[in-house]
């Protein structure tokens, strides 16, 4: 013990380091070649081993002349807690309890990881307000919107935030489907009281995907009573749904009315800027270099939802990691083909539109696709791109390819040109409409 004390004094450790790693170490016993120390956590153990083991062992050797190794034992929790209580005032910083993640929530579904854009700012702000003051204002809250737009992420962010900052509150998160299964099982096993208590004792009840309760009369009934109990006790409830509640089928009206009683917020698909920002965010803690072009390419072409956006990114990242090669736009396009929205079944092809537009303007098809940049050619070319964008599902990347391998940004630019001109020149819109009509008719 004396050795350790000396060691502490002699070691050149800052106060902070000492407090953090050494203060809570206690001597347990020593054998001929070993010293056993008690330490508070595995975290401290790994820190000590990585940072100080070598120094300490050298010092011990210098002091004692014997080669001694260190061995650690982690204090058991109970003792630790007792100590925490009795030593509270002495050194609060080392006694902070290790954060225990919530068993039902994904740790990465946090507000910090949620990119706010104009498509979701209402929902995001409401969620933050709820996390700060659960039960008081927006109760219940219903978040609705299509698949992959961030409902679960937001809902779990509320849960994670409350779990972290208000650890005494009991947060219960459950997908509606699990709620249904639990309910049915509780009946079969005659454990209904247990089931009821589990949900009615919650301080925060988060039920994900309530559209799954459609057709489930019994569970709806049960949730109705749970709702009332929690509502009367001012407990916060949040629900998500993939459609506006008015579109729920086979759903008890009285329960539907309860859902919409508080705050209703909806999520929309993200715009280009938000998609780009989300991709950036998702790349933050991954150790791969994906160039701006590629991020733009993905953001431009994948506009369905964020789940698809992530899937595309994951596929590109995996490719980059496995092939260890820089991703060029060509490789990316090839890799992403499956993700780009496929044109709906239609007889309207890019080729058809190009032909009709060039006929109308009396330019050749090869000029239309070619490099010439005279006014007589560029205008029809822009009109063709604009129309393709208007009436088909081809992505700007695919369109670019059909115009002599032009870049998707060129296509975007061209469409923008026409849009601008429509605003200032009243003859253009009728021309476009006439062309569209004749393309659809033939």
CA-nearest of 151, 104, 107 to 127 is: 151
Chosen residue from 6, 77, 136, 147 binding ligand ADP by CB under 6 A: 147
Task: Determine, following the binding rule CB under 6 A, whether residue 148 of this chain makes contact with ligand ADP.
Answer: yes
**DSSP character string of 30-43:** E-SSEEEEEES-HH
> Which of the stretches 145-153, 187-195, 294-302, 320-328 binds Mg ion when contact is defined by CB under 5 A?
145-153
Task: Determine, following the binding rule CB under 6 A, whether residue 177 of this chain makes contact with ligand ADP.
Answer: no
Q: Could you tell which of ligand ADP, Mg ion, none binds residue 243, using a CB distance below 5 to 8 A set by kind?
A: none
Distance of alpha carbon 39 from the chain centroid: 36
Tokens encoding 14: 């800052």
Cβ distance 396 to 413 under 8 Å? no
Q: Could you tell which of Mg ion, ligand ADP, none binds residue 307, using a CB distance below 5 to 8 A set by kind?
A: ligand ADP
Give the nearest distance from C-beta 306 to ligand ADP in angstroms.
Answer: 4
> Minimal CB distance to ligand ADP: which residue?
150
Task: Determine, following the binding rule CB under 6 A, whether residue 278 of this chain makes contact with ligand ADP.
Answer: yes
Chosen residue from 279, 306, 312, 384 binding ligand ADP by CB under 6 A: 306
Nearer CB in complex with Mg ion: 130/357: 130
Task: Determine, following the binding rule CB under 6 A, whether residue 149 of this chain makes contact with ligand ADP.
Answer: yes
Tokens encoding 40: 């508070």
Give the nearest distance from C-beta 244 to ligand ADP in angstroms.
Answer: 14
Q: How many residues touch Mg ion (CB under 5 A)?
A: 2
Place of tokens 């929690």: 230
Taking 3-state DSSP, the helix, strand and coil percentages for the chain, each rounded to the nearest 5, stand at 55, 10, 35
The pairing of beta strand 141-144 with beta strand 236-241: parallel
Cβ distance 171 to 163 under 8 Å? yes
Task: Determine, following the binding rule CB under 6 A, whether residue 151 of this chain makes contact with ligand ADP.
Answer: yes
* Residues whose CB is less than 8 angstroms from the CB of residue 72 and which lie 6 or more positions away in sequence, other chains included: 36, 37, 38, 39, 45, 48
Task: Determine, following the binding rule CB under 5 A, whether residue 152 of this chain makes contact with Mg ion.
Answer: yes
Query: Phi and psi at residue 32, in whole multiples of 5°?
Result: -60, -40
Give the nearest distance from C-beta 151 to Mg ion in angstroms.
Answer: 5
**DSSP character string of 126-162:** HHHHHHHSTTTSS-SEEEE-STTSSHHHHHHHHHHHH
Query: Phi and psi at residue 38, in whole multiples of 5°?
Result: -100, 135
Give me the 85-124 binding string for ligand ADP, x by CB under 6 A, dash otherwise.
Answer: ----------------------------xxx----x----
Nearer CB in complex with ligand ADP: 140/150: 150
Applying CB under 6 A, which residues contact ligand ADP?
A: 113-115, 120, 147-153, 278, 281, 306-307, 310
């Amino acid at each position: 013990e004396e050795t350790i004390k000396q060691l502490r004094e002699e070691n050149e450790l800052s106060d902070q380091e000492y407090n953090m790693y050494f203060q809570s170490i206690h001597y347990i016993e020593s054998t001929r070649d070993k010293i056993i120390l008690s330490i508070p956590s595995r975290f401290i153990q790994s820190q000590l081993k990585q940072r100080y083991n070598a120094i300490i062992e050298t010092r011990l050797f210098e002091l004692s002349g014997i080669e001694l190794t260190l061995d650690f034992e982690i204090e058991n929790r109970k003792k630790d807690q007792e100590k925490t209580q009795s030593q509270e005032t002495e050194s609060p910083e080392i006694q902070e309890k290790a954060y225990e993640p919530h068993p039902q929530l994904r740790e990465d579904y946090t507000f910090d990881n949620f990119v706010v854009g104009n498509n979701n700012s209402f929902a995001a702000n409401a969620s933050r307000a709820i996390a700060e003051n659960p039960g008081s204002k927006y109760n219940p809250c219903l978040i609705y919107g299509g698949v992959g737009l961030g409902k679960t992420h937001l809902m779990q962010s509320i849960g994670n935030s409350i779990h972290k900052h208000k650890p005494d509150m009991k947060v219960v998160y459950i997908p509606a489907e699990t709620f249904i299964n639990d309910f049915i099982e509780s009946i079969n096993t005659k454990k209904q009281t247990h089931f009821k208590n589990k949900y009615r004792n919650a301080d925060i009840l988060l039920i994900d995907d309530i559209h799954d309760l459609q057709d489930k009369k019994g569970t709806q009934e049960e949730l109705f009573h749970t709702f009332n109990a929690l509502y009367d006790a001012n407990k916060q409830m949040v629900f998500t749904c993939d459609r506006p509640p008015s579109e729920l089928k086979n759903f008890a009206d009285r329960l539907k009315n309860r859902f919409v009683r508080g705050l209703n917020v909806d999520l929309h698909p993200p715009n280009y800027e938000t998609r780009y920002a989300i991709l950036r965010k998702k790349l933050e803690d991954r150790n791969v270099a994906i160039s701006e072009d590629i991020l733009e390419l993905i953001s431009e072409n994948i506009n369905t939802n964020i789940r698809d956006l992530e899937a595309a990114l994951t596929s590109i990242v995996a490719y980059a990691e496995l092939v260890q090669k820089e991703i060029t736009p060509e490789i990316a396009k090839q890799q992403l083909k499956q993700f780009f929205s496929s044109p709906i079944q239609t007889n309207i092809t890019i080729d058809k539109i190009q032909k009709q537009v060039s006929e109308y303007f009396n330019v050749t098809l090869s000029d239309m696709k070619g490099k010439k940049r005279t006014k007589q050619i560029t205008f029809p070319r822009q009109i063709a791109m604009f129309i393709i964008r208007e009436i088909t599902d081809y992505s700007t990347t695919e369109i670019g390819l059909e115009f002599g391998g032009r870049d998707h940004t060129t296509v975007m630019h061209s469409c923008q040109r026409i849009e601008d001109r429509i605003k200032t020149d009243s003859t253009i819109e009728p021309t476009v409409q006439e062309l569209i009509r004749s393309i659809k008719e033939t």
